[in-house]
Amino acid sequence: MNQSISSAWPVVLSVAGFDPSAGAGIVADLKTFAAHNCYGVAAITALTVQNTQGVTSVRPVEPGVLKESINSLLSDGRVKALKIGMLWNKTTADVLREILDANSDLPAVLDPVVRSSNQFDLIDAAGLDFLRKKLLSRVTVVTPNITEAAALAEMPVDTVESMKAAARKLVELGARAVVVTGGHLEKCVDVFYDGTTLESFTGDRIKPDNTHGTGCTFSSAVAANLALGRQLRDAVVLAKAYVVEAIRQAFPVGPGRIPLNHLYRMTQPRLTDHSPAVAETVH
């Protein structure tokens, strides 16, 4: 990774929860931005009490403070993309609706976090319904995993065909583009649909236990690539390649879930230009 930060680094804003174990949420987002030669800034929606073994409680940030924090960062005028993660409730989600309406030209990636790996709910029913009805249509792309896609589309999602059906349903509900990630399936397949093109990206299943924070990391990588000027499909392909390698090079930091190695590129030679080259993928 290029160790010098220059003015050429685009700024990416993460609005998400704080995971003190650093595998997911804001901290994972900031590491992912840095790995892509982007400068990350953040506004925290909620503090979670968790370690590698799971989430035990959540304390939301006061909505007025969250809104002030986001607007303060946006007022600098340098933010090139927005990533939205855990929202917790309808009140917080409504803050993001206002922000998106006021910054409609800003590329925005929504990771619709529903629950943690240990099945702790991270958004209430009213918040999920508001997200479905008010936020899907206001972001550039939404990136649910199969559990989140099932909750949003209100249908079972457990096969590649049902992933495709859910993607279509979410576009019908107003989403501009959808990536349903299938890392929990036997074969890792992600389904991309932008209302016109329906495409599947397939990869090998590697180190299935090294997956804490994959959704946060994938959505942040998409946001970083959008900030670098790449087209949405290219951003998705590059984000998938990054997540696969971050999983491959992950290592345990506690007795529970293994987080991705977001900064694996620090040990590898790295091109420093920001050209929109696209990594090859298997279809």
Where residue 276 falls among pLDDT bands split at 50, 70, 90? very low
pLDDT at 54 over 90: no
Average pLDDT rounded to a whole number, residues 144-157: 96
* Confidence label for 281 from pLDDT (cuts 50, 70 and 90): very low
Section 88-101 average pLDDT? 97
The percentage of the chain sitting over the pLDDT mark of 90, rounded to a whole number, equals: 73
Of 161, 134, 133, the C-alpha closest to 146 is: 161
Q: What's residue 78's pLDDT?
A: 94
Average pLDDT over residues 71-96: 97
Enter the DSSP assignment of 135: I
3-class SS of residue 232: helix
Closest to 86 (Cα-Cα) out of 111, 53, 67, 66: 111
Q: How confident is the model at residue 4 (pLDDT cuts 50, 70, 90)?
A: very low
Count of residues making up the chain = 283
Domain spanning 11-267, CATH class: alpha beta
Question: What was the pLDDT predicted at 274?
Answer: 46
> For residue 133, is pLDDT > 80?
yes
Compute φ and ψ for 42, nearest 5 degrees.
-150, 150
DSSP assignment of 2-58: -----TTSPEEEEEEEE-TTSSSHHHHHHHHHHHTT-EEEEEEEEEEEEETTEEEEE
Whether the per-residue pLDDT at 188 is higher than 90: the answer is no
Q: Which of 4-13, 34-43, 229-238 has the lowest mean pLDDT?
A: 4-13
Kindly state the average pLDDT of the residues 4-23: 85
- Rounded to two decimals, what is the model's pTM? 0.90
- DSSP assignment of 208-230 equals TT--BTHHHHHHHHHHHHHHTT-
Taking alpha carbons only, the member of 275, 276, 203 closest to residue 234 is: 276
pLDDT for the residue 269: 59
Residue 93 CA to residue 85 CA, distance in Å, equals 10
- Over 50: is that where the pLDDT of 278 sits? no
Q: Is the pLDDT of residue 200 over 80?
A: yes
Query: Do strands 11-18 and 39-51 pair parallel, antiparallel, or not at all (unpaired)?
Result: parallel
User: Residue 57 — very low, low, confident or very high, per pLDDT cuts 50/70/90?
Assistant: very high
Residue 178 clears pLDDT 60, i.e. is over it: yes
Please report the pLDDT score of residue 280 as a whole number: 39
Quote the CA–CA distance of 68 and 23 in Å, as a whole number. Answer: 26
